[in-house]
Amino acid sequence: RKEVEQDPGPFNVPEGATVAFNCTYSNSASQSFFWYRQDCRKEPKLLMSVYSSGNEDGRFTAQLNRASQYISLLIRDSKLSDSATYLCVVTVRSQGGKLIFGQGTELSVKP
């Protein structure tokens, strides 16, 4: 089983749509959770951390369900500039700062 698994993409949505990404992780000792964004052939950039109580940053909402080992990211009112690959990332308590990445879900927002 993959350590971090994401919805296969790509997601093609019109501007203004709401889109949701799902992610599951296999290690119950996973400690911290993040969503990163990666533009084509560029470095990953932190979009937001994911907290147990859920958190929101503008149009972006992240949720964590530890019991189900499930993480989600919701993007409301999507913009053309949201087009990118979204990476679900976890760390494991016994493995220091190592980031474990999912394979990513590509989002394409069309006019």
Answer yes or no whether residue 27 interacts with other proteins by CB under 8 A: no
Q: CB under 8 A: which stretch of 9-17, 40-48, 52-60, 76-84 binds other proteins?
A: 40-48
Long-range contact pairs involving 45-49 (C-beta distance under 8 Å, separation at least 24): 47/73, 47/86, 48/73
Q: Does 100 bind other proteins (CB under 8 A)?
A: yes
Contacts of 108 (CB under 8 A, 6+ apart): 10, 11, 12, 13, 83
Which ranges of the chain would DSSP assign to H, the alpha helix? Answer: none
105 contacts other proteins (rule: CB under 8 A): no
Give Dmax over CA atoms of the chain in angstroms: 45
Q: Mask 69-98, x = binds other proteins (CB under 8 A)?
A: ------------------x---xxx-xxxx
Which of 22, 27, 55, 103 binds other proteins (CB under 8 A)? It is 103
Report the alpha-carbon distance of residue 12 to residue 110 in Å, rounded. 7
66 binds other proteins (CB under 8 A): no
Contact residues: other proteins, CB under 8 A: 31-32, 38, 41-46, 49, 87, 91-93, 95-104
